[in-house]
């Protein structure tokens, strides 16, 4: 059974009219019990007001609610933007009857427009009234911008024989790049854990998931990943063994959500795993994998179902990492296309072209230099990406 | 009058059948007199055979001819590729009756395919027969790949009262990025200069032109810029004053050719100058300008004629350079869109939208932090870029 709720948490989505259509554009998460929290935020120096505010508020390690809107990023909005973000928290706190410092805030959408605070203030009581155990699907819908499907994933799994729950929702389909990054990801769990432990496991999970995907190489101003833990299950994460078990569940949630983000990336028709092995170090492998994963020429070739391995070689060569071109092998899934830096001929190319017709495949680059390795999830670059982003604001 | 020749040089273009169409796909430059030479090559670690060969041969500082083909990059072609490149030089030398060490070679096109040496060998005598003073336009045509127009520019200008000539041809419309870079640029001049001086002025001219443009962020494996000087004018560049005068002419040639490359970039409908000023240093300004110039989101917004300055702010914020978002001003030509990090409102936006409808405009970002500045030439990112690159090999 698909898990779309997490014990002790309620959520809701609401159409506040920010998007000027009858779409859900505001969301709320509420923990019925005191909860601890940790967050990871964008590395962009231009940060939206909600990010700046959360980075302060989250220092307490406590949180009961999160208010979020789509359709407007509340970024580059000056003093008014910060005032509005604080107001969103305060109004939500009042409606919920909890202290203001326990409410976090997030936003996604167009940069540089003032928030329509009238619509938001009007919507908040309605949002609170709509809260329900099963409201997470609405919440996932409410944070969508150019996403075409909501991303929600829940896992129930035992830790030390006791069932615990982890539920994540995420959004983001453009401005996705490995420096943090998803636009927004909110994870609720009914384990109990101190904020330091939460921060540790969240950072680790993000690094091997959201930090390993790229859609367009741009890093958002609003990236926010939050992990809230309300202890409802009675399971406290207080030993290395339990932490490891919890990390495993969290990793699975983040990896699958990251996959969903790339799959639903703007204009995406193919999801491609770029794996680099045989590098001097994991760091080197990751840098090369990222460079290939971000190359517009590689990504347009994927879209054209063209096994153009020369572009992959060229991207690897400009990654700023020492490599020996004459030692490189390249595979499309199990088909070897390049051996020792030169092509394997037309038969291999025909087989590789069949691989490229799939909606998911892997490109493996073996540098044959050492034991370092890394993988990055990327996508093709389609005509629709350009259409979506040329027209996004209008 | 448009200058399309350079005294003492001949050139030719020829349809050798490499492209499988009746297009010019081989070119030759020949100096009737001994000439000195300097070159700048790709920074990509994956280098085509002609680049590797030229880097060795050019050490002598002497050159009489250049043989070039399009339709095949002769890159990632292993030992056969190097053998073929050497053969192209040797056959050209024989046909011209000059020593083999005085012939350089270049190539552009698909990576990873063996050169059709039969067609090339057959074509070389024909190329030599076609050599003429006015053959540079054919040469410019012969090196085109996805270019839609040939790029050729000649200047006659006095140095110390004596007229000298500089003539440049270039190609490149994808894989163009500031790490070198044009795909190919060949410049002939009738001044006399030692190779060291040529290298100095060429490096300087390339750094302020081809290294300041970006089309798609990819760096080619074949980038080659050559400057040949045959002394036919009798003007020797042997004083700082003459060098400065020659540098000025060379800079103008390179800047205008660079502009033509961006203008004819794959799918380009707009040429945009990104200028950053008020940075702590020129280096910082250049890094921010490059990041904005390469952002797919910024470039698709240009294509959509959308004055989406938020994406420009977001790109600046992820450039890895320290900046204060609240101090940033942004202008589209003379229209101020952003003051102190926030938008100037709907009236400014309407005026800026009119600027974006132009085929050329400037975006100015003032960091208000110092006196560092830099400019980069970029273009919009259109549906046609994706179409061109998805279909390029087929």
Chain A: residue nearest B219 by CA? A318
From the list A75, A318, A338, the residue facing B310 with the nearest CB is A75
Q: How many angstroms separate the CA of residue B189 from the nearest CA in chain A?
A: 32
> What is the tens place of the pLDDT at every residue in B220-273?
788 899 999 999 999 999 999 999 999 999 999 999 998 998 888 888 899 999
| Residue with tokens 């155990």, as numbered in its chain | A133
B389–A296: do the CB atoms touch at under 8 Å? yes
Q: Please identify every residue of A annotated as catalytic.
A: 182
- Whether the per-residue pLDDT at B180 is higher than 50: the answer is no
**Strands B360-366 vs B271-279: parallel, antiparallel or unpaired:** parallel
pLDDT band at B178 (very low <50, low <70, confident <90, very high): very low
> What is the tens place of the pLDDT at every residue in B5-46?
999 999 999 999 998 778 999 999 999 999 999 999 988 888
Q: Euclidean distance between the first and final Cα of chain B, in Å?
A: 40
> Cβ distance B270 to B379 under 8 Å?
yes
B343–A112: do the CB atoms touch at under 8 Å? yes
How many helices and strands, by DSSP H and E, does chain A display? 11, 14
pLDDT band at B1 (very low <50, low <70, confident <90, very high): low
Q: How many angstroms separate the CA of residue A76 from the nearest CA in chain B?
A: 5
> Cβ distance A174 to A384 under 8 Å?
no
- In percent, the amount of chain B with pLDDT more than 70 equals 96
- Burial grade of A339 (CB within 10 A; 0-12, 13-18, 19 or more): middle
Residue A336 to residue A325: CA distance in whole angstroms: 16
pTM (2 d.p.) = 0.84
Nearest Cα to A222, choosing from A53, A1, A15?
Answer: A53
A383–B382: do the CB atoms touch at under 8 Å? no
Q: How many angstroms separate the CA of residue B53 from the nearest CA in chain A?
A: 16
Residue B25 to residue A9: CA distance in whole angstroms: 67
A341–B76: do the CB atoms touch at under 8 Å? yes
Q: How many angstroms separate the CA of residue B322 from the nearest CA in chain A?
A: 8
> Cβ distance B253 to B155 under 8 Å?
yes
A314–B389: do the CB atoms touch at under 8 Å? no
B342–A77: do the CB atoms touch at under 8 Å? yes
Mapping DSSP to helix (H, G, I), strand (E, B) and coil, where does residue A224 land?
strand
Q: How many angstroms separate the CA of residue A190 from the nearest CA in chain B?
A: 35
When scoring B52, B179, B317 by the number of chain A Cβ atoms within 10 A, the one with the most, hence best to mutate, is: B317
- Give the mean model confidence (pLDDT) for residues B277-294: 94
Handedness of CA A339, A343, A349, A353 (dihedral sign): positive
State the pLDDT at residue A390: 78
- CA A88 vs. chain centroid, Å, equals 24
Asked if the interface predicted TM-score (ipTM) of this complex is over 0.90, the answer is: no
> What is the tens place of the pLDDT at every residue in A110-121?
888 999 999 999
Q: Nearest-5° angle of CA A109, CA A114, CA A115?
A: 65
On the question of a cis peptide bond just before residue A181, with omega within 30 degrees of 0, the verdict is yes
Helix (H) or strand (E) holding B291: helix B282-294
Chain A: residue nearest B305 by CA? A390
> What is the tens place of the pLDDT at every residue in A184-219?
999 999 999 999 999 999 999 998 888 888 776 667
Q: What residues in A contact B303, CB-CB < 8 Å?
A: 386, 390
Q: How many angstroms separate the CA of residue A379 from the nearest CA in chain B?
A: 14
Low-confidence ranges of chain A (pLDDT < 50): 178-182, 394
Chain B: residue nearest A78 by CA? B342
Residue B259 to residue B256: CA distance in whole angstroms: 5
Residue B41 to residue B206: CA distance in whole angstroms: 11
Q: What residues in B contact A78, CB-CB < 8 Å?
A: 326, 340-342
> What is the tens place of the pLDDT at every residue in B86-140?
999 999 999 999 999 999 999 998 888 999 999 999 999 999 999 999 999 999 9
What's the Cα-to-Cα distance from A323 to each of A90, B21, B42, B45, B220, rounded to whole Å? 55, 37, 15, 7, 16
What does the DSSP 8-state code read for residue A72?
Answer: B
Residue B134 to residue A135: CA distance in whole angstroms: 75
When scoring A76, A183, A302 by the number of chain B Cβ atoms within 10 A, the one with the most, hence best to mutate, is: A76
Q: Which two tokens stand for residue B122?
A: 């057959």
Q: Where on the phi/psi map is residue B142: left (φ > 0), alpha (ψ -120 to 50), or beta?
A: alpha
B322–A45: do the CB atoms touch at under 8 Å? yes
- Give the number of A-B residue pairs with CB atoms closer than 8 Å: 220
Which is the catalytic residue, given B108, B182, B189, B197? B182
What does the DSSP 8-state code read for residue B33?
Answer: E
Q: Which residues of B307-342 are buried (b: 16+ CB within 10 A; e: fewer)?
A: bbbbbbbbbbbbbebebebeebbbbbbebebbbebb
- Give the mean model confidence (pLDDT) for residues B348-373: 95
User: HSE on the CB side for B63, CA within 13 Å?
Assistant: 34
Q: Euclidean distance between the first and final Cα of chain A, in Å?
A: 40
- Whether the per-residue pLDDT at B393 is higher than 70: the answer is no
At a CB cut-off of 8 Å and minimum separation 6, what does A64 contact? A30, A31, A34, A35, A96, A98, A102, A103
Query: CA torsion, points B251, B255, B261, B262, in degrees to nearest 10?
Result: 150
Ordered structural domains, chain B, with CATH: 9-263 (3.60.70.12), 271-391 (3.10.20.340)
> Cβ distance B27 to B11 under 8 Å?
yes
State the pLDDT at residue A147: 86
> Cβ distance A216 to A378 under 8 Å?
no
State the pLDDT at residue B384: 85
State the pLDDT at residue B381: 87
How crowded is residue B97: how many other Cβ atoms within 10 Å of its Cβ?
A: 7
B383–A381: do the CB atoms touch at under 8 Å? no
At a CB cut-off of 8 Å and minimum separation 6, what does A345 contact? none
A343–B76: do the CB atoms touch at under 8 Å? yes
Chain B: residue nearest A215 by CA? B296
Q: What is the CA radius of gyration of chain A?
A: 22
What's the Cα-to-Cα distance from B27 to each of B4, B30, B130, B143, B185, rounded to whole Å? 15, 10, 10, 7, 13
Residue A176 to residue A262: CA distance in whole angstroms: 9
A111–B311: do the CB atoms touch at under 8 Å? yes
Q: Where are the alpha helices (H) located in chain A, listed in sequence order?
A: 49-57, 78-96, 117-130, 136-142, 195-207, 240-263, 282-294, 296-303, 309-317, 346-356, 383-391
> Cβ distance A135 to A13 under 8 Å?
yes
At a CB cut-off of 8 Å and minimum separation 6, what does A189 contact? A6, A164, A165, A166, A167, A227, A228, A229, A230, A246, A250
> Cβ distance B374 to B275 under 8 Å?
yes
Q: What residues in A contact B318, CB-CB < 8 Å?
A: 43-46, 177, 179, 218-219
> What is the tens place of the pLDDT at every residue in A73-115?
999 999 999 999 999 999 999 999 999 999 999 999 888 899 9
When scoring A311, A326, A344 by the number of chain B Cβ atoms within 10 A, the one with the most, hence best to mutate, is: A311
From the list B220, B309, B385, the residue facing A112 with the nearest CB is B309
Chain B: residue nearest A392 by CA? B301
| Residue with tokens 């091997």, as numbered in its chain | A208
> What is the tens place of the pLDDT at every residue in A265-296?
888 899 999 999 999 999 999 999 999 998 88
A219–B318: do the CB atoms touch at under 8 Å? yes
């Amino acid at each position: 059974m698909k898990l779309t709720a997490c014990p002790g948490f309620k959520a809701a989505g609401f159409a506040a009219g920010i998007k000027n259509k009858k779409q859900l554009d505001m969301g709320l998460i509420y923990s019925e019990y005191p909860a601890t929290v940790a967050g990871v935020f964008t590395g962009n120096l231009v940060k939206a007001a909600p990010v700046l505010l959360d980075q302060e508020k989250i220092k307490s390690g406590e949180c009961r609610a999160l208010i979020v809107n789509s359709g407007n990023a509340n970024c580059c909005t000056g003093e008014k933007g910060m005032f509005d973000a604080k107001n969103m928290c305060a109004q939500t706190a009042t409606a919920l009857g909890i202290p203001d410092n326990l409410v976090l805030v997030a936003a996604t959408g167009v940069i540089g427009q003032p928030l329509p605070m009238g619509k938001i203030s009007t919507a908040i009581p309605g949002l609170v009234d709509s809260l329900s155990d099963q409201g997470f699907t609405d919440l996932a819908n409410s944070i969508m911008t150019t996403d075409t499907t909501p991303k929600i994933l829940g896992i129930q799994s035992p830790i030390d024989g006791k069932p615990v729950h982890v539920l994540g929702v995420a959004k983001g389909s453009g401005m996705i790049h490995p420096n943090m990054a998803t636009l927004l990801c909110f994870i609720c769990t009914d384990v109990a854990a101190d904020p330091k432990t939460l921060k540790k496991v969240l950072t680790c999970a993000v690094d091997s998931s959201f930090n390993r995907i790229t859609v367009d190489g741009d890093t958002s101003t609003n990236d926010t990943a939050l992990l809230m833990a309300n202890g409802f299950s009675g399971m406290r994460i207080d030993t290395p063994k339990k932490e490891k078990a919890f990390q495993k569940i969290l990793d699975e949630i983040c990896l699958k959500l990251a996959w969903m983000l790339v799959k639903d990336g703007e204009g995406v028709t193919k999801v491609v795993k770029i794996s680099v092995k045989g590098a001097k170090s994991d760091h080197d492998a990751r840098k090369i994998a990222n460079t290939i994963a971000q190359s517009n020429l590689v990504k347009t070739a994927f879209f054209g179902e063209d096994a153009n391995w020369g572009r992959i070689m060229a991207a690897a060569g400009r990654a700023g990492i020492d490599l020996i071109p004459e030692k490189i092998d390249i595979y499309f899934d199990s088909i070897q296309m390049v051996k020792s830096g030169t092509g394997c001929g037309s038969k291999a190319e025909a087989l590789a072209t069949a691989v490229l017709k799939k909606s998911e495949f892997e490109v493996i680059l073996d540098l044959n230099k050492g034991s370092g390795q890394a993988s990055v999830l990327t996508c093709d670059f389609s005509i629709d990406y350009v259409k979506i982003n040329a027209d996004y604001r209008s």
